[in-house]
Structure 1
Amino acid sequence: MDIRLLGTGGDQGWPCPGCRCASCMRGRAAGRRRAPGQVLVDGALRIDAGQPPAGQPATGYQVTRLEGGWDVTGPDGGRLLLAAGPAAVPRPAEGTRPFDVALLDLLHSPAQLGELRARGLLRPAAVAAALYMDHRIESEPELARRAALWGACVPADGDSLASPGPLAATGGQPDGRAADARPGGVPLPHRTLILGGARSGKSREAELRLAGQPAVTYLAAGPWPGGSWTGADGSPDAEWAQRVAAHQAARPRHWRTVESLDVAGVLASQDGAILLDGIGTWLAAVMDEAGAWTAEQAEQAEATERAGGAERAGWAERAGGAERAAGPAGTVARRVDDLLAAWRQTAALVVAVSDQVGSGIVPATPSGRLFRDQLGWLNQRLAAESEQTLLVVAGRVLSMTT
C-alpha cells in the first residue's frame, strides 16, 4: 500500500490564512506551508479531512467507517488507520487486525499512539505519522522533537508512506514502534530527570515524553488526598486534592497508576516505562514520616548545615552509618540512599519530575529551609546518575545534559 499525502495540515492548513499567531508567523517567515489534510491511497482512493472517500472505492479496497476515523484495507492486504480530521481519534474495535500505517492527529492526542501499541493494533514495523498539523504547536522543530519521542514521523506535503517504512519523510522516526525499541534508532534516555518551578510545565513535558509508550506506570509518590497530607489547621488539604484530581484526569486511560512512597521498590521491580511524579512530594512525605518537620528538628538540622558549610552534602551523603541508625536525619538518609541505588540499577525507562528549589525567596521557617536544602542535594545526586537532565521554564524545555 502506497499512501501519498497531498496535504498534511489542519482544516485551514498551516500557517492558517490571515492568522497572526507566533506559530503561523514563524511558518511564513520560514517559507513553509502545509495544505489541509488529504490522502491518496495507491493513486486510486482519495480521502479528505472530515469527508468520506471520494467516489466509490476502487476494486479490491475495503473502507470501513470507525468512530473517529477510517479503516482501509488494500488489495495487497495492506492496512491503513486514518483519523477522520483534526481532533478526531480513531477507535478500532477489539480484535481488529493490526495496521501497517497509522495517520493520526498527534497534536490532539499523542497518547492515542501509545494506546494503539498497548492494544496490539500496530504491527511491529508499522509506520506512525502525524497528520492535520497546525498552529496548535509553536513550531515545526518542536513538532519534530515530540514526534521523535513518540516514535512517529512528520511527513511533508507530497511525501509518500508505505509499509514497512516511509518512502520519504522529513522528520521524526520512520518506525512506528515504541521509541525505546526502534532497531537502528536512537533510544530514549534510560533515566531522565525533569526540573522546574511551580506551573513551569515540567509534568506536562514528562507526560509528553512517554505518550507513545505502550506500557507506562504512573508512580504518584504521595502524599495523597485522604492520607496524611493536611492543611495548616490540620484538616484535609482540599486544594492539594484538587491538584491531584486534575493530574489523574489528564492521564491516558491505558496508563497504570501506583500510589506509593516505596519508590525504590517500584524502580527495582518494574520494567516498561515509569513516570515518577514527583521527587519533591516524595521527599516531603518521607520527612513527614520521619518527624523531620518539627521546629526543634528543623532548627537542629539548620544549625548543622551552617556548621558544615554551604558546600556540604545533605543528610544522606553526610551521615555516617552509626549516625543513620536513629533519628529523623538517619531515617531520611536511608530512604534517599535506597532511592538512589534503585535509580542507578532500574531496568525501566524512567522519567522523573522534581521541583527546582532555591531560585527564589528564602523560606521564612527553619523547616522550609531544611526542605529546600535537602531537595537541592537530592536533585544534584539524581542528575549525576541520569542520562538526561532537563529544566523547564515557562513551558520551554532546556537540556542541562553535558
Structure 2
Amino acid sequence: MEITLLGTGAPEGLPRPDCPCASCATASGDEARAATALLVDGAVLLDLTPGPAFAAARAGRSIAGVRQVLLSHPHDGPAVEFPAGLPAPVRVPDGRELSVISGHRVRAVALDAPGTGYEVTGPEGERLLYLPPGTAPAGLSAPAGGPGSGPYDMVLLDVLGRPDALARLRGAGAVTATTDVLGVHVDHDVPPGPELHRRLAAAGARAVPDGTSLVVGDYHAVPDLPRRTLVLGGARSGKSVEAERRLESFPDVLYVATGGTREGDADWAARVALHRERRPGSWRTAETCDLVPLLTADGPPLLIDCLALWLTDAMDSVGAWSDATWHDGGEEALAARVAELVAAVRGTRRTVVAVSNEVGSGVVPATASGRRFRDALGRLNVALGAQCEQVVLVVAGQALPLR
C-alpha cells in the first residue's frame, strides 16, 4: 500500500494567510505545508487539500483513479473544495466499515472530539490509521483494530497538538517501536525546520514534505528514542516543560518530584500546583529522593525533577553543609551517594528524563557551603551527563542539544 501526502499542514496551511508570526515567516520550501490530505494507492483520498489535482501532479501522481473520497473533519470544520470528476466526498459513521472497489477496507474510528478517524487496510493486509487534527481515539482498551490485530504499520496524526493521542495508542498496543508515526496537521505553534523535527523525534515520530510518497510497512528507520536524557537549564528557563514534552506522548509515566512539600510556603505550593496542572492525567506522581530503587526496578518511564533538590537532600543527609562534618567524612559520604545514583542511571532499563539546574554560569556564592553545593551539582551533572544518550541545555525556552 503506497500513500502520497498531498498536504501535511493544519487546515489553514503553513504559513497561514496574512499571519506575521515567526513560524509562518520562516515556513518556506519543504517546510511550507498545505492542508493535510492523503492519497492511498491512487484510489482512496482522505480529506481534501486546496487544488488536489495540482498537488497530486506536483507529486507525480493523478487523482483520476480515485474511487472514494472521505472527510475526517466535522461538518462545521474548514471549507473544502470539491473538484469536478471526483466521487462525492462522504463521512463514514463511527464503527462502520466499507469496502472500496480497489480492494481497500476502510473503518471509521470513534474519536474524543468532533471528527472521524479512519483505519485503512490494504489488499495485502497493511494497516494505517489516520486522525484529524485535535483528536484522539475514544475508548481504547485493546489494539485499535480489534483484539489480536496487532499494531498499525503507520499512524498519521496531530502529534504535537495531541501528544496524548499517541500515548493512548501506545498504551493500547496499537503503536509500537516498529510503527511509522507521521506528524501531520502541522501548524504554526512550533517553529518549522530543525525544532519541528527535533520535537517530533523526541516523541518517536517524523514529518515529511508535502508530495512525499511512502510504502506502508516499508519504513525501518523509526526514530531511536534515548533511554536516558538529561535536561539542563537555569531558573525559569523552560527546562521542566522540555522534559515533560519529551514524555507526554507516552502512557503511564511516573513523575518523581524530589522537592517534597514545604509547610507554610505559599510560593512553593503554587510552583508545585503549576507542575501538576501541566502533567497529563494518566501520569502518576511519587514525592521522594530515594531514586535508586526506582531506577533499578522495571516500570514505566521516569521523569525526575529535579536533581538539584535531590542533591540538597543528599547533602542534608550527610551533614555536608557543616565545614567540620564535610572535612570529617561528609565529602566521602556524599561522593558515595552520587556514585550510587550514577551507577543506577547507567544500569537502568527504564526510560528516564532527568532535570537539573545549570549553575556554572552564575555568580560565585558568598558562603563556603554555597560554593560546595555549586561544585557538587556541577560534578553531578557531568557524571550523569556521561551516562545519558541525550543531553540538552534549555535557554529562554529553546532546547540546545549538547549530545
- TM-score, normalised with respect to structure 2: 0.75
Structure 1 vs Structure 2: percent identity of aligned residues?
41
Instruction: Pick closer, same or farther for the CA change 1:155–1:91 going to 2, 3 Å.
Output: farther
Q: 2:117 aligns with which of 70, 74, 79?
A: 70
Matching residue's letter, 1:15: P
Structure 2 SS opposite 1:198: coil
**Which residue in 1 is equivalent to 2:82?**
none
Q: Distance in 2 between matches of 1:133 and 1:46?
A: 16
Q: Distance in 1 between matches of 2:294 and 2:271?
A: 23
What runs of 5+ residues in structure 2 fail to find an aligned partner?
A: 49-71, 76-87, 92-97
Q: 2:256 aligns with which of 213, 219, 225?
A: 219
Cα deviations across residues 317-375 of structure 1 (Å, max 9, x unaligned)? xx7xxx53xxx545434322321222232233332211011422344455433322321
Report 1:1-400 matches (<5 A).
Answer: 1-28=1-28, 30=29, 32-42=31-41, 43-48=43-48, 50-51=73-74, 54-55=89-90, 59=100, 60-68=105-113, 69-74=116-121, 76=123, 78-85=126-133, 87-95=134-142, 96=144, 97=146, 98-122=151-175, 125-165=178-218, 175=222, 179=223, 187-213=224-250, 216-220=253-257, 222-225=258-261, 229=262, 235-270=263-298, 273-293=301-321, 297=322, 300=324, 323-324=328-329, 328-329=330-331, 331-400=333-402
Given that 1:193 and 1:388 are in contact with CA atoms closer than 8 Å, whether structure 2 keeps it comes out as yes
After the TM superposition, which segments of 4 or more aligned residues of structure 1 sit over 6 Å from their partners? none
Give 1:75 shift: 6.1
Q: Distance in 2 between matches of 1:341 and 1:16?
A: 49
Give 1:214 shift: 5.0
What runs of 5+ residues in structure 1 fail to find an aligned partner?
A: 167-172, 180-186, 230-234, 302-314
Q: Distance in 1 between matches of 2:39 and 2:110?
A: 17
Q: Distance in 1 between matches of 2:176 and 2:26?
A: 36
**Which residue in 1 is equivalent to 2:80?**
none
Q: Distance in 1 between matches of 2:109 and 2:382?
A: 54
Given that 1:15 and 1:25 are in contact with CA atoms closer than 8 Å, whether structure 2 keeps it comes out as yes
Matching residue's letter, 1:9: G
Structure 2 SS opposite 1:122: coil
Decide which structure has greater helix share.
Answer: 1
Alpha carbon RMSD of aligned pairs, Å?
A: 3.0
Given that 2:109 and 2:119 are in contact with CA atoms closer than 8 Å, whether structure 1 keeps it comes out as yes
Q: Distance in 2 between matches of 1:24 and 1:380?
A: 38
Aligned length: 348
Instruction: Pick closer, same or farther for the CA change 1:111–1:93 going to 2, 3 Å.
Output: closer
Given that 1:102 and 1:129 are in contact with CA atoms closer than 8 Å, whether structure 2 keeps it comes out as yes
- TM-score, normalised with respect to structure 1: 0.75
